Amino acid sequence: MRYDVSVIGLGRIGLPLALSFADHGLSVLGVDSDQERLGAIRERRMPFKEPGTDELIARVELGTSTRAADAAEARAIVLTLGTPALSHIEIDIRDIRTVLDDLLPHLREGHLLVLRSTVAPGTTEFVAGYLEKHRGFRVGEDIFVAHVPERIAADKFMEEISSLPCIVGGIGEASGERAAQLFEPLGAPIVQTTPVQAELAKIWTNILRYATFALPNLLMMDCERYGANVFDVIELINRDYPRGGIKMPGLTAGTCLRKDFAFSEERSSAPGMLLAVSRVHETVPLFLVDGVKRRLGGSLREKRIAVLGLAFKSDTDDERDSLSHKLIRLLERELADVAVHDPVVATPTSSFDEAVAGAEVVIVATNHSAYSTPESLRAIAEQAPDALIVDPWNALGTAQVFAYVAEVAALRA
């Protein structure tokens, strides 16, 4: 076999992983159907932001291909494919099945197949059964299958790939051992378990964060109802109290948190519980729009509104499943004139000054560090002195979700 490992799917999970394998001395083939992305990789340019990888892609060698079948030229094949949720609260594994069908004629005894994507419980067993059914392999003896879930946060790959425990859920002991040998060079401690426990650990890691962040968002809505300040209430809950710890509100989304709860919900013993968590988050954009309408007299028609931030998370360029887009659509449905600024994403946006100049409302949709400066608030005060600032993150330090520039200036005086 020509390669030690192939990685199918060179997105935000797969490409940094492929580069890390190569950096640790493995010969690596990267496979992706996106020609533009492959073109960037061949030119040694990162197609997205991930701190520390620009130097890596410029230095290491990485083979590339558009054909999934070529991945069989490696001893180990890692799948980092998208696994969205269907509208009926069900995992969509069509991309995984398509790649398996492409690989089937080319798989040989001794191959290791690793699922790195987030999957619903039972998916690793499905993959093993699929190989046995269509090729007659004995998984764990002829061919090896494991789930090694990705748990690294955006913008922290290089920091966490060697430090976070690497969970390995192999179909049988031999599969677990082969998968562990593949990931051991990256330096993280290996934790062996069963495939279904690895699957559950990954999706419930995200569910825990999703549910945790729903509480302050629901509290924010309660505070609006009762005329209270959510940041003051959170301070009261947390200050010197051993059982405090509630987080801050904000627009909580992203391609993982927004979908992964569905992988449990599709067979849940408490149907609707996690859907309710999702509903809290999905309501935040509407809550903000309704709050603006109440303060501006009910109509947003032709009101100039600046939305700061398109990414789903601070300082990342990842817009996938960001609630900023939902917020913008809701504002546009109110016939508002929306200007957008984001200092990080690849999507072209207005400059900060262009977005806020003359704005009647300024909404901080993403808590980028660029917004959390005295200069940002000063620029808003100078260019939109009568604006309503909407800042559920408290990124600008207004300590209020809804506050007029004049109020903030008075507090700062």
Tokens at 51, concatenated: 């701190």
Tokens at 365, concatenated: 């949709």
The residue length of the chain stands at 413
> In the chain, which stretches have pLDDT less than 70?
409-413
- The two beta strands, 85-86 and 74-79, are unpaired
What are the DSSP E strand ranges found in 152-284? 166-170, 190-193
Please choose, from the candidates 18, 15, 7, the residue with its C-alpha nearest in 3D space to the C-alpha of residue 48.
15
- 227-412 topology per CATH: Rossmann fold (3.40.50)
| Residues forming beta bridges with residue 307, ordered by sequence position | 340, 363
Residue where the block lists tokens 């887009």: 325
| Residue-level pLDDT at 154 | 86
Q: In whole angstroms, what is the distance from residue 105 CA to residue 112 CA? A: 15
Q: How many CB atoms lie within 10 A of CB 144?
A: 26
| Residue-level pLDDT at 409 | 66
| Residues forming beta bridges with residue 112, ordered by sequence position | 76, 144
Full-model pTM: 0.92
Phi, psi dihedral angles at 214 (to 5 degrees): -70, -35
Where do you find CATH 3.40.50.720 in the chain? 3-193, 227-412
Class of domain 3-193: alpha beta
Residues 6+ apart with CB under 8 A from 250: 213, 216, 217, 284, 367, 392, 393
Phi, psi dihedral angles at 337 (to 5 degrees): -95, 110
| Residue-level pLDDT at 264 | 87
Q: In whole angstroms, what is the distance from residue 189 CA to residue 226 CA? A: 49
On the CB side of 162, CA atoms within 13 Å amount to: 9
Q: For 392-413, how does the pLDDT look when each residue is reduced to its tens digit (9 = 90+)? A: 999 999 999 999 998 886 655 5
CA angle 348, 49, 391 (to 5 degrees): 60
Q: CA 321 → CA 84, 192, 201, 251, 383, distances in Å?
A: 11, 32, 22, 11, 31
Please choose, from the candidates 114, 123, 164, the residue with its C-alpha nearest in 3D space to the C-alpha of residue 14.
114
Q: CA 235 → CA 14, 215, 364, 385, distances in Å?
A: 40, 14, 21, 29
Q: In whole angstroms, what is the distance from residue 317 CA to residue 347 CA? A: 9
Q: CA 104 → CA 16, 68, 179, 341, distances in Å?
A: 26, 10, 20, 47
Q: For 269-316, how does the pLDDT look when each residue is reduced to its tens digit (9 = 90+)? A: 887 899 999 999 999 999 999 999 999 999 999 999 999 999 999 999
Tokens at 173, concatenated: 């002991």
